[in-house]
Amino acid sequence: MIQQEHIIMGGIPVQIIPAHNALAEDAVREAATLDMDGPDVQVIQPEYLIALYLEPPARTRKRLERVATLLEESDVDRPRLDALLKKYNLTLT
């Protein structure tokens, strides 16, 4: 089942992220592996999701709202996020 930009798998919305550049490749390489009562699933770390949302082509109002939500509700490693933003020349503002 497809819902907006997500595929629903086992009742959970899943977004497929292609590794379209170095940041996305790093995000996939550093993804956490979770056991979802079946096959293991790789999940992009919140710091990488934030950085991906801040890339110029993806930096929409909706994505900036997601960044704010992740910063408020996730266990974001700020030093790691700051290092990613510096490495890829991105800003939160």
Half-sphere exposure of 42 (CA within 13 A, CB side): 12
Query: What's the confidence (pLDDT) of residue 41?
Result: 80
Q: Which amino acid is it at 7?
A: I
Whole-model pTM: value is: 0.81
Tens digit of each residue's pLDDT (9 = 90 or more) over 9-55: 777 777 777 788 999 999 999 999 988 777 788 889 999 999 999 99
Angle between helices 46-54 and 61-73 (to 10 degrees): 160
Tens digit of each residue's pLDDT (9 = 90 or more) over 72-91: 999 999 999 999 999 999 99
